[in-house]
Each structure stands twice: as C-alpha cells, then as structure tokens.
Amino acid sequence: MATSGKPPHFPQQPVARQNDDGSIELECFLEAAPAPDIRWFYEQKEIMDGGRFKMDLKQKGDDAYSAVLLIKVFTTLLLFFFQSVRFSN
C-alpha cells in the first residue's frame, strides 16, 4: 500500500531576528508530510548542529513545522589597562 505524502511548501518568507543576548535566529515555516529533514547551508557548505549553531524543528500542526537555526555570536571583550608613569628629573 502506497503512502500519500505532501511535498515541502513554504507558505511565508523566512524570519530573521536578533535576540537580546546577541544571538541570531533564522526561522522557516513549512508544511510537509512526512516530517521534513531540514539542512541549513552557508556558502554552499552544510552547517552542522553544535558549537555556534543550534537547530530545532517543531511541529506546529498536522503537517506544519517551524525550523529554527540559532547562531550564537561570540564577542571578545578586550580590556586595556593604562598605568600612569611619573618621571622625576
């Protein structure tokens, strides 16, 4: 017996937002059956889950899903200390 499926369909544009902690979220809403296997790419290279990147797929309805890519932005804080030097003659 053949199973019926629903090809992936993106009913709206992806959403990009910056969180208070500086991280960035990219979210795509899609409809598909069975549940989709989502992969994210940057410059033709697949992004892997872990480290700076966290991927999540949430079911929002019977065949509706939300795919989120969270990008953690690391900033380096540089502190410079200046010491006053006094020269005597």
Q: By residue range, what is the domain housing residue 51?
A: 6-71
pLDDT at 48: 95
- CA 72 to mean position of chain CA atoms: 8
Mean model confidence pLDDT for the chain = 85
Is 79 inside a domain boundary? no
Dist CA 36 CA 57 (whole Å): 9
Q: 8 falls in which pLDDT band (50, 70, 90)?
A: very high
69, exposed or middle or buried, with CB in 10 Å at 0-12, 13-18, 19+?
buried
pLDDT at 50: 94
- Could you give the number of structural domains in the chain? 1
Q: 73 falls in which pLDDT band (50, 70, 90)?
A: confident
Q: What is the mean pLDDT of residues 24-52?
A: 94
Is 16 inside a domain boundary? yes
